[in-house]
Amino acid sequence: MTVFFVSRHPGAVEWAERQGLQVDRWVAHLDPADILPGDTVVGSLPVHLVADVCGRGARYLHLALYVPEHARGRELTADELECFGARLEPFLVEHDIYSSGGGLR
């Protein structure tokens, strides 16, 4: 079982290190084909990738935080992530098996 931390942001990586997370693979981008059942993926991924991760039998922990408007659109430091309440929240996301692949109608 492998723990992946997915982020291209140095502040997020430093925050994770400060938390003492036991990470096996630090990656800037995730290829869902690398994920095996029992793996754990940590990051802030788009929902369709989270569904792929969960569909492969892996656990997803979302790096969640509330970023105030004045801090959006720029790199955040580890200190700022802590200040904005960064935390890991587990999510289970499934593709809608009843959807015919269509979007809004």
Bridge partner list, 62? 43, 89
In a domain, 104, yes or no: no
In a domain, 30, yes or no: yes
**Number of domains forming the structure of the chain:** 1
Average pLDDT over the chain reads: 93
In a domain, 44, yes or no: yes
For 72, the domain range is: 3-91
In a domain, 105, yes or no: no
- Report d(CA 66, CA 62) in Å as an integer: 13
The model's pTM = 0.89
Question: Measured between alpha carbons, how far is residue 11 from residues 15, 17, 20, 22, 28 in Å?
Answer: 6, 10, 14, 17, 13
pLDDT for the residue numbered 39: 98
In a domain, 97, yes or no: no
In a domain, 86, yes or no: yes
The pLDDT tens digits for 20-43 are 999 999 999 999 999 999 999 999
In a domain, 85, yes or no: yes
In terms of Cα–Cα distance, which of 21, 47, 59 is closest to 12?
21
pLDDT for the residue numbered 96: 81
Is the confidence at residue 78, as pLDDT, over 80?
yes
Is the confidence at residue 60, as pLDDT, over 90?
yes
- Report d(CA 56, CA 51) in Å as an integer: 9
